[in-house]
Amino acid sequence: MTTRFFTSTIQPLRIRLSSAVHPNLYFWTGFLLLNFLLFLPAYLLNRETSAFLPPIFERAAEPSVTVRKLFSWRNNLDIFRLNIEITLLLAIWAFLPWLRRPRLRGFYRLLFTSVTIVGLAYAIYENLIVSIYQEDPVFYAHFQLAVDGLDFVWKHLTVSSLTLGAAILAIAATIALLALWARILIGGIPVNHLNRGTRILLAFLACLSILAALSSGKTLSSPKSIASSLVAKLGKNTADSIALYQRVRAVDDLPFYQAYNYTGHDLLGKPNIYLIFIESYGSTLYSQERFTDSYTKLLGDLTTELENGGWFAATALSESPTWGGGSWMAYTTALFGMRVDSHPQYLALQERFQEESYPDLGSYMQSQGYRYLRATSLAVELDDEEWHQYKDFFGVDSWIRYSDLDYQGMHYGWGPSPPDQYVLHAIDQDIKGESDQPFLLFWITQNSHYPWRKVPKVVDDWRAMNDGNAVVTVFKDESTSLIEKRENYLEAIIYELSFLKAFILNEAGDNDIFVLIGDHQPGYITRRSDGFDTPLHIISKDRAFVRSFAEYGFDPGLKVQDPLPAMRHEGFYSLFIRVLLQQYGQGGSKLPEYLPHGIQLENH
Q: Determine the Cα–Cα distance for residues 575 and 253; give it in Å rounded to an integer.
A: 23
Q: How far apart are CA 231 and CA 213, in angstroms?
A: 10
Query: How many structural domains comprise the chain?
Result: 2
Q: Check whether residue 536 and residue 406 sit in a common domain.
A: yes
- Residue 127's Cβ-count burial label (10 Å; 0-12, 13-18, 19+) is buried
Q: Which of 545, 542, 541 is nearest to 577 (CA)?
A: 545
Does the structure show a pLDDT above 50 at 12? no
pLDDT in tens, 382-393: 777 778 888 899
Q: Verify that 109 and 232 share a domain, yes or no.
A: yes
Q: What are 310-332's pLDDT values in tens digits?
A: 999 999 999 999 998 889 999 99
pLDDT at residue 228, rounded to an integer: 92
Lowest-confidence region among 262-271, 342-351, 409-418: 409-418
Residues of the domain holding 296: 273-323+348-583
Q: Does any domain span residue 602?
A: no
Predicted local distance difference test score (pLDDT) of residue 18:
43
Residue 342 lies in a domain: no
Query: What is the CATH classification number for the domain harbouring 508?
Result: 3.40.720.10
**By 3-state DSSP, what share of the chain in percent is helix, strand and coil, each rounded to 5?**
55, 10, 35
DSSP assigned state of 524:
S
Residue 367: half-sphere exposure toward Cβ, Cα within 13 Å: 17
**Domain-located, residue 409:** yes
Partners of residue 338 on adjacent β-strands: 599
Residue 583 has what pLDDT?
95
Residues 484 and 537 in one domain: yes
The CA–CA distances, whole Å, from 523 to 490, 503, 565 equal 13, 28, 19
Closest CA to 569 of 282, 269, 313, 337: 337
Share of the chain above pLDDT 90, in %: 54
Q: Are residues 310 and 231 in the same domain?
A: no
Confidence (pLDDT) at 164: 66
Cα separation values, 185 from 32, 94, 277, Å: 11, 10, 54
Output DSSP code: residue 50: -
Whether the pLDDT of residue 61 is over 80: the answer is: no
What is the predicted pLDDT for the residue at 411?
A: 87
Query: Does one domain contain both 240 and 297?
Result: no
Write the pLDDT tens digit of every residue in 475-504. 444 556 788 889 999 999 999 999 999 999
Backbone angles phi, psi at 226, to 5 degrees: -70, -45
pLDDT of 567 over the 90 cut: yes
Cα atoms in the 13 Å half-sphere on the side-chain side of 577? 33
Percent of the chain with pLDDT over 70: 88
Q: How far is CA 562 from the centre of its chain?
A: 24
State mean pLDDT over 7-26.
Answer: 53
Q: Considering the domain boundaries, does residue 469 fall inside one?
A: yes
Global pTM reads 0.85
Residue 108 CA: distances (Å) to CA of 42, 51, 324, 473: 28, 36, 41, 53
Distance CA 457, CA 500 (A): 13
Q: If you average pLDDT over every residue of the chain, what do you get?
A: 86
Of 20-24, 250-254, 465-469, minimum mean pLDDT range: 20-24
Predicted confidence (pLDDT) per residue in 177-197, tens digit: 888 888 888 878 888 888 899
Residue 382 is classified by DSSP as P
Q: What residue type is 5 in one-letter code? A: F
In a domain, 594, yes or no: no
E-assigned strand segments in 161-229: 227-228
Of the ranges 184-193, 297-306, 576-585, which one carries the lowest mean pLDDT score?
184-193
Q: Are residues 217 and 312 in the same domain?
A: no
The reported pLDDT for the residue numbered 380 is 75
pLDDT value for 518: 97
Q: SS in 3 state form for 291-325? A: HHHHHHHHHHHHHHHHHHCCCEEEEEEEECCCCCC
The answer on 292 and 173 residing in a single domain is: no
At 163-176, the pLDDT tens digits run: 667 778 888 888 88
Asked if residue 507 is part of any domain, the answer here is yes
Alpha helix (H) residue ranges in 355-401: 361-367, 384-394
